[in-house]
């Protein structure tokens, strides 16, 4: 997921301080050949953040819109328990998949309906933001400073600082992947992120390096490390033409690309678009109909694992489509007092 949000109010929200950027260059791994180029002199984070600090601030358009969502993410035990539970369930399922020497792993991606040839390496496919990295401090800063809803300068500053923390439970997944690799199972974590490549100087995609550095620092004790080619970014430069690839937030094409190289056994994300193809732009009723189908329902908790994120996501676009721009009060339904008109009913995705 990418950045988005707004918050005002008197609740205390955590905002990270500044830190120096790491500049470690790591070897690349196909299929992302563009990540092989090493940059000798990356632009310092302080220079990147100066643009964000000097930007013109605007008054909030929708005050308090995300106050509860960001405060819940940053302060509640319930959020930590929820995220940890998802990762523990996913790790347990991974153990089941590879418990037998004669394992026959499932096919997690709808883009991979047929099993690849024997010997194809396995992959756990993950989103980055709000799945592995917690960016609630960026959300808080946007809102506390009354920044516009989606500020690229603030996000670029935040990314360059490499200060995001792990989503609770994420470390367990990397530790298990390390253990499986030590057992001789050829498996990697692969990432599809809507973090966008925006050149700085000679570096065509410094955001990838910053993302990899940030995660690797946090999981160093697990024995697992990402390589730059493991992360497929939005607007990734084509290795031959340097033209942006995958310019849209839809992840279907990138999953197809990974399915050419890996047997995808599991997927984790915080947005429906991290799992389901061509779903991000659909209104609520159509999203409910598609994901309520038996094919999708059978995957939840088996090969698909959804992390909680109430701060932002493609669900907000579905509300915009159904109820106008950010009119969330027009997209929710209450109960009716006796004798009063019936309130609009929200779409029912599937019965409990």
Give DSSP secondary structure letters for 251-279.
-HHHHHHHHTT-EEEEEEESSGGGTSTT-
What does the pLDDT read at residue 259?
A: 97
Give the tens place of pLDDT for each residue, 242-255.
778 887 789 999 99
- Please check the confidence at residue 52 and state whether its pLDDT lies above 80: no
- Positive or negative, the Cα torsion across 152, 156, 157, 163? positive
User: What pLDDT does 287 receive?
Assistant: 85
Q: Using alpha carbons, list the distances in angstroms from residue 34 to 6, 161, 189, 303, 319.
A: 34, 23, 18, 29, 36
- Are residues 268 and 126 in contact, defined by beta-carbon separation less than 8 angstroms? yes
Residue 37: band (very low, low, confident or very high) from pLDDT cuts 50, 70, 90: low
Domain ranges of the chain: 33-330
Mean confidence (pLDDT) of the chain: 82
Predicted pLDDT of residue 246: 82
Query: What are the strands, taking DSSP E only, across 159-291?
Result: 165-166, 187-196, 231-234, 236-237, 244-245, 263-269
Instruction: Kindly tell me the burial class for residue 321, based on how many C-beta atoms sit within 10 Å of its own C-beta (0-12, 13-18, 19 or more).
Output: middle
More confident residue, 12 or 228: 228
pLDDT for the residue 26: 38
Better-scored residue on pLDDT, 205 or 248: 205
Of 45-49, 215-219, 294-298, the range with the highest mean pLDDT is: 215-219
193 pLDDT band, cuts 50/70/90, is very high
pLDDT at 56: 55
Q: What pLDDT, on a 0 to 100 scale, did the predictor assign at position 148?
A: 62
Does the structure show a pLDDT above 70 at 69?
yes
Domain 33-330 -> CATH class: alpha beta
Mean pLDDT confidence for 306-310: 96
Tell me how far apart the terminal alpha carbons of the chain are, to the nearest angstrom.
Answer: 27
pLDDT, tens digit (0-9, with 9 covering 90-100), for 146-191: 766 667 888 999 999 999 999 999 999 999 999 999 999 999 999 9
85-116 confidence digits (pLDDT tens): 999 999 999 999 999 877 789 999 999 999 99
């Amino acid at each position: 997921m990418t950045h988005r949000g707004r918050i005002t109010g008197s609740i205390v929200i955590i905002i990270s301080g500044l830190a120096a950027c790491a500049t470690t260059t790591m070897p690349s791994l196909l299929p992302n050949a563009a990540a092989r180029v090493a940059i000798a002199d990356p632009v310092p984070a302080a220079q990147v953040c100066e643009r964000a600090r000097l930007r013109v601030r605007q008054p909030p358009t929708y005050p308090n819109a995300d106050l509860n969502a960001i405060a819940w993410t940053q302060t509640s035990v319930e959020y930590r328990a929820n995220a940890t539970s998802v990762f523990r369930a996913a790790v347990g399922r991974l153990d089941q998949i590879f418990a037998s020497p004669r394992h026959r792993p499932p096919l997690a991606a709808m883009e991979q309906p047929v099993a690849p040839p024997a010997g194809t390496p396995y992959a756990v496919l993950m989103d980055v933001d709000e799945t592995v990295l917690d960016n609630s401090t960026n959300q808080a800063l946007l809102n506390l400073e009354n920044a516009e809803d989606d500020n690229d300068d603030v996000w670029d500053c935040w990314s360059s600082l490499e200060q995001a923390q792990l989503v609770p439970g994420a470390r367990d997944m990397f530790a298990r992947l390390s253990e499986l690799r030590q057992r001789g199972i050829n498996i990697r974590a692969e990432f599809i992120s809507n973090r966008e490549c925006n050149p700085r100087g000679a570096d065509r995609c410094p955001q990838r390096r910053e993302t990899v550095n940030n995660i690797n620092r946090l999981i160093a004790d697990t024995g697992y490390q990402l390589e730059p080619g493991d992360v497929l970014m939005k607007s990734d430069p084509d290795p031959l033409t340097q033209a942006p690839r995958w310019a849209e937030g839809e992840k279907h094409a990138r999953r197809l690309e990974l399915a050419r190289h890996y047997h995808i056994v599991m997927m984790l994300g915080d947005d429906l678009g991290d799992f389901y193809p061509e779903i991000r732009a659909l209104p609520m009723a159509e999203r409910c109909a598609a994901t309520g189908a038996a094919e999708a329902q059978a995957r939840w908790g088996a090969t698909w694992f959804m992390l909680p994120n109430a701060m932002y996501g493609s669900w907000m676009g579905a509300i915009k489509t159904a109820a106008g721009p950010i009119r969330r009060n027009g997209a929710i339904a209450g109960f009716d007092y006796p004798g009063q008109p019936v309130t609009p009913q929200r779409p029912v995705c599937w019965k409990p």
